[in-house]
Structure 1
Amino acid sequence: MTEDRYSKIRVSIAAGVARVTLDNPPVNALDVALMKELRDFLSTVRDLPSVSVIVFDSANPDFFIAHVDMALIDEPHAFDEMAKDAPAGLNVFQDFAETLRRQPQLTIVKLAGIARGGGAEFVAAADMSFAALGRGRLAQCEALMGIVPGGGGTQLLAHRLGRARALEVILGADLFDAETAERYGWVNRALPADEFDGFVERLAHNIAALPPGVVAAAKRAMPLADLSVGLAREHQAWADLFALPAAARLIRGGLARGAQTREGELRLEELLRELGAMSP
C-alpha cells in the first residue's frame, strides 16, 4: 500500500495493527472522495493476514467525521457510481456502514472530537469505540435538517442503546458528551485524555498479538444482528423526508450560515435550530 495512494486518509501498518487517520479539512465531512478512500482501504486489507486490528482516528482535533457532506444536496448523482455496487435494499450510506460492520478485522474508533450524522453512524458500526473525556462527542443531527438518519443510524442505535434512548438521540438531536455516551452504551469507554492514547494503543496491540485465528473466531462466535429489514424501513423513511421541501431548505440554509466551517460546526445544533425556527 503506497503512501501516495490516498489523499483523504493516512495509513500505516505495523505489528498487525493498521492505523487510519482521517484528514479531510476543514471538518472531515464524509464526502464522495473520503468515502471512496475508506471503502478502497477496507477492501484492500480485508484479506490481508498481516492485519488483525484497524484503528481509526482523526488528524483534526475538533472533528472525527462532522457528518455526510451537506453540499451533496446539489449533487444528486455524486454517489451513483458507488450505489451500483450496493446490495439490493441498501442505499450507499447503509452499505458503507454494513461494509465496516462486516470487516473481518477488529475495528476500533478513537473518538477525540465530534462525530455527527454519518460520522456517528461510523462510530456505531465499528466493533469498538473509545472516547476522550472532554473531547469526544456524538450526535445524530439529521432531524434538525428535516430528515432521519439514513446510513444505518436508526438500526445501529436501537440495537446498541435500546429504542427509548435511540429515540432520545435521534429526535433530541443534541451533542452527547463522552461520559453520557459511555453510560448509554454508544461507546465502550470514556477515558481521561491523558490515558486515552495509551489505552487504545495497548488494547490494539494486545489483540493483534493474539494467536492466529482468535480474532476471527471471536467475531464468528458473536455474529452480527441481521438489520436488513430495519434498514429497508429506515431508507424509506429517510427518502420520503428527503423529498420534502423542508430538507433542502434546512440543508442549504445551514450551509449558507456556516455549516461545514469549523466555527459553524462547533455550534451546528444551535445554528440549525435557529434556522428551523424561521418561517419556510
Structure 2
Amino acid sequence: MARGGGAEFVAAADMTFAAIGRAGIGQIEALMGIVPGGGGTQYLAGRVGRNRALEAVLSAGLYDAETAERYGWVNRAVPADELDEVVDRLARNIAALPEGVIAAAKHVILPEDLAEGLLRENDAWMGQIMRPAATGLIRDGLAHGAQTPDGERDLEGLLRRLAR
C-alpha cells in the first residue's frame, strides 16, 4: 500500500510495478484537509494527466493495481506471484546494457521542468496545513489510530468517518 508520501514516492520513481490483488495507491491528503506535497501533485499529473490527477487527489480513494496501471500511475500491474520475476528480469536486462545507454536515455527522456509547479504545490500545502480543519483532522486521525497497522488497513475509511 502506498498512500500520501508513499504514493508521491511511487509517482517520482522512474519505473514502478504493482502486484494485482495486493497493491493499492492513493493520495489521501484531502481527507486531512491538505493537498499532497513532496512533488506529489506534479509527478502524478505528469504520469496520469491533469484530469486523473485531480480525480486521485480529490477523491482521496485507494486505487487497485489494475486501475493504477490503466491510469499510468504504475508501469505495469502483474500477478503477485510473478512480480519479483518480472522486476528482476527487467533489472537484469537494464544492467546488461552497454555503458552509457542508461544515462543517455535518462538525459533525453526528461520530465517537464517542475520548478514552478513545485513552488505552487508548496504554497498550496503550506496554506492548508495551518488551517484549523487540517490540524484537527490530522490530530484526530492520530488519536484514532491512523498510524497503527489496523488504522493503515482502512486509512481512507477512518479519515472519512472523522470528517463527518
Please indicate the TM-score interval, normalised by the length of the shorter structure.
over 0.9
Q: Tell me which residue corresponds to 1:188.
A: 75
Q: Tell me which residue corresponds to 1:274.
A: 161
More strand by share: 1
- Indicate yes or no: 2:124 matched with 1:244: no
**Cα displacement string for residues 161-218 of structure 1 (whole angstroms, at most 9, x for unaligned residues):** 1111101000000000000000000000000112111010010011011111110011
Q: Tell me which residue corresponds to 2:63.
A: 176
Residue 231 (structure 1) shift: 0.8
The 5 A counterparts of 1:256-267 are 256-267=143-154
**Cα displacement string for residues 52-102 of structure 1 (whole angstroms, at most 9, x for unaligned residues):** xxxxxxxxxxxxxxxxxxxxxxxxxxxxxxxxxxxxxxxxxxxxxxxxxxx
Residue 224 (structure 1) shift: 2.2
The 5 A counterparts of 1:99-178 are 114-178=1-65
Separation of aligned partners in 1, 2:38 and 2:133: 20
Gaps of at least 5 residues in structure 2 are: none
Quote the RMSD (CA, aligned, Å): 0.7
- Matched to 1:230, the amino acid is G
Separation of aligned partners in 2, 1:267 and 1:138: 12
Separation of aligned partners in 1, 2:65 and 2:141: 26
Instruction: State the TM-score, normalizing by the size of structure 1.
Output: 0.58
Separation of aligned partners in 2, 1:230 and 1:224: 12
- Matched to 2:22, the amino acid is R
Q: Tell me which residue corresponds to 1:11.
A: none
Post-superposition, which runs of at least 4 consecutive aligned residues in structure 1 deviate over 4 A? Answer: none
Moved more, 209-218 or 171-180: 209-218
- Matched to 2:49, the amino acid is G
Residue 156 (structure 1) shift: 1.0
Aligned with 1:201 (options 80, 85, 88): 88
Partner SS, residue 265 of structure 1: helix
Residue 270 (structure 1) shift: 0.6
- Matched to 2:99, the amino acid is P
Aligned with 1:210 (options 97, 100, 107): 97
- Indicate yes or no: 2:142 matched with 1:219: no
- Matched to 1:138, the amino acid is I
- Matched to 2:161, the amino acid is E
Provide the aligned length of Structure 1 versus Structure 2: 164
Question: Sequence identity of aligned pairs in percent?
Answer: 67
